[in-house]
């Protein structure tokens, strides 16, 4: 029976090589840099566009499934531009090219060569905004990431 896992110790990585990947094996071969000081990972996943039309004679709204949009999501980090991963994010922000993103869950099984569940995809970095709070807050950066292709899930295993 599968069990639920927490987001504690999950990781987000970036690769700025510009390598296009079609399989999880190709993604696994990339050189990944961990984005440090991760505070929150938003949500991402498949959502199809809704296409509607209304016929006059029926007075009914009809719905069709349109294009797949894997969407955008926000990462929140404790701001540290000197962190290698956040530095790569900033590099991606200033580029019009895709970066590769990998999100790893904290479900790695025991054993040599074991891998956790991971989600990999090409993306564009659209923003790196500073977020300030009251005197008892850490300075944060909110990173807006737009997924520009398919999300490939690699199953956990050895």
Residue 1 has pLDDT above 80, yes or no: no
CATH of the domain at 36: 2.30.110
Q: State CA 76 to chain mean position distance.
A: 12
Residue 2 has pLDDT above 90, yes or no: no
Q: Establish if 67 belongs to a structural domain.
A: yes
Total domains in the chain come to 1
Instruction: Dig out the tokens for 122 from the structure.
Output: 């090409």
Question: Residue 3's pLDDT band (boundaries 50, 70, 90)?
Answer: confident
Distance CA 6, CA 82 (A): 28
Condensed to tens digits (0 to 9), the pLDDT of residues 92-141 reads: 999 999 999 999 999 999 988 899 999 999 999 999 999 999 999 999 99
Contacts of 77 (CB under 8 A, 6+ apart): 35, 36, 37, 38, 39, 83, 86, 140, 141, 143
pLDDT for 158 equals 61
Condensed to tens digits (0 to 9), the pLDDT of residues 43-97 reads: 999 999 999 999 999 999 999 999 999 999 999 999 999 999 999 999 999 999 9
- Tokens 């296409």 correspond to what residue? 51
Q: Establish if 1 belongs to a structural domain.
A: no
Q: Establish if 35 belongs to a structural domain.
A: yes
Q: Establish if 2 belongs to a structural domain.
A: no
Boundaries of domain holding 143: 11-154
pLDDT for 157 equals 87
Q: Establish if 70 belongs to a structural domain.
A: yes
Q: Establish if 48 belongs to a structural domain.
A: yes
Q: Establish if 5 belongs to a structural domain.
A: no
Q: Establish if 74 belongs to a structural domain.
A: yes
pLDDT for 100 equals 98
pLDDT for 79 equals 98
Distance CA 15, CA 74 (A): 17
Residue burial 43-56, b: 16+ Cβ < 10 Å; e: rest: ebeeeeeeeeeeee
Specify whether the CB–CB gap between 121 and 96 falls below 8 A: no
pLDDT for 124 equals 98
């Amino acid at each position: 029976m599968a069990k639920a896992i927490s987001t504690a110790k999950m990781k987000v990585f970036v690769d700025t090589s510009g390598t296009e990947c079609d399989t999880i094996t190709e993604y696994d071969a990339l050189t990944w840099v961990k984005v440090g000081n991760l505070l929150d990972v938003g949500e991402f996943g498949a959502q199809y566009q809704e296409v509607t039309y209304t016929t006059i004679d029926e007075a009914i709204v009809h719905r069709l499934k349109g294009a797949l949009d894997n969407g955008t999501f926000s990462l929140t980090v404790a701001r540290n531009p000197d962190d290698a991963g956040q530095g790569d994010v900033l590099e991606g922000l200033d580029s019009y090219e895709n970066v590769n993103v990998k999100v790893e869950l904290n479900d790695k099984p025991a054993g040599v060569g074991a891998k956790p569940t991971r989600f990999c995809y090409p993306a564009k970095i659209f923003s790196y905004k500073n977020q300030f709070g009251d005197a008892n807050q850490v300075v944060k950066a909110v990173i807006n990431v737009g997924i520009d292709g398919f999300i490939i899930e690699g199953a956990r295993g050895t």
